[in-house]
Amino acid sequence: MLWIFLGILFASIALGLPIAFGLGVAAVVLAVMSDIPLSILIEQSVRGVNNFPLLAIPFFILVGEVMSAGGIARRLMELAGALVGFVRGGLGQVAITGSMFFGGISGSAVADTAATGSMMIPSMKQQGYSAPHATAINTVSSVIGIIIPPSIPLILFGIVTETSISRLFIAGIVPGLLIGFGLMVTTFIMASFGGAGQTRKFRLDLLWQAFKAAWLALVLPVIVIGGIIGGVFTATEAAVAALLYSLFISLVFYREIRLRDLWGMLIRTARLTGMVLLLLAFATVIAWFLTINMVPQTLVRQVQAITQEPFLLLLIVAALLLVVGFVMDLTPAMVIMAPMLTPIVTTVGVDAAYFGVLMAFILGIGLLTPPVGTCLYVGCGVGKVSMESLVRAMLPYYATLLVVLVILIAFPGIVTWLPDLTAVRGN
């Protein structure tokens, strides 16, 4: 049954059929083969989306829309410039730091690529960065947005594996910062040899001005992360609080959006949310089919026969996910693979929240690699560069991401110590 499902799925991809519809076709074929009433498919698909934590997805997507249009993202980028603009690499360092700020609120790598890229790439070109290099920095830093909370992929992982979303969010903080630091070091080294990226003198008065302009925006991550750690609200409630706060400061203080602008934001949010939910609905049906046919349990036994050493097992799973990321977008890969792979790693003592962060990171690398890397296509559009030149410019950053990946696999405590310290468990 697993091979039949995979065959139908990859045939759908080859034919250019949307993956959600490919999953639907596979579900119908499996139901007919198993002589199962089609009404059960409807019941299982509804069960998959009838989940309260899923409400966090549209709220966080809408927060990203409000940030981009309401002046929040721009002020955060200006603060990043005042903080790290003096470091060798100049605006390259600013772009990465800005992605850490922006990704810590929007939860979407694609939104990060579009928002920071449109603001930073033109200025970086003026400072001596080539178009592919400037685009590469802004594109690769977008992976931070799906690790530092909030994170839409981590929400999906929590739902399909029944792992605490709040714990997943807290587990993503330190790895996200580590990824950002690694990218900044790479940019520093490349600027030392290439000479691109003018620096500016650090000025405390400019930093103070940028902080005064952005301090209201900085409260947003405090609301999301601080509220979850402090037990004030769950991840879903944090999404609502973040949206209300971002709307308030954008409408009342910054006044860069009007109420009539919200209609377009709501339409874009609904479209993206609909895509995610349709995928999740059909993926839930597939997961049900595989479970009743003992596929996950069989996979666990077969993998355990190869090795029960956590490090080697995680290396094998990481290699598999890297291959999957080459041919499948992050969201469908997460909802399809997470229910199958999580039991395999947890049986050897791997923390589920740790694996969720690791899986999101690995599939996030897939967003940056051809042929289906969504962020690559967005970056090419924003930076007006060819795919070939962008991939060549990103090669040093690919190496950095792989080094960080090996570090996270070798030292899982980097991921788990903060959630263990805060004892965050609830959704």
What are the residue ranges spanned by the domains of the chain? Answer: 53-277+294-422
For the segment 194-208, what is each residue's pLDDT rounded down to a tens digit?
656 666 677 888 888
Please answer whether residues 65 and 272 qualify as being in contact, where contact means their C-beta atoms are separated by less than 8 angstroms: no
**CB 130 within 8 Å of CB 169:** no
Entry pTM: 0.84
The secondary structure element, H or E, covering residue 336 is: helix 330-346
Backbone angles phi, psi at 350, to 5 degrees: -80, 135
pLDDT at residue 196 in the model? 62
Q: What pLDDT shows up at residue 395?
A: 92
**3-class SS of residue 85:** coil
CA gap 385, 196 in Å, rounded: 18
The CA distance from 250 to 256, in Å, is 6
Residues in the chain where the model's pLDDT stays below 50: 425
Query: Which residues, at least 6 apart from 3, have a Cβ–Cβ distance to it below 8 Å?
Result: none
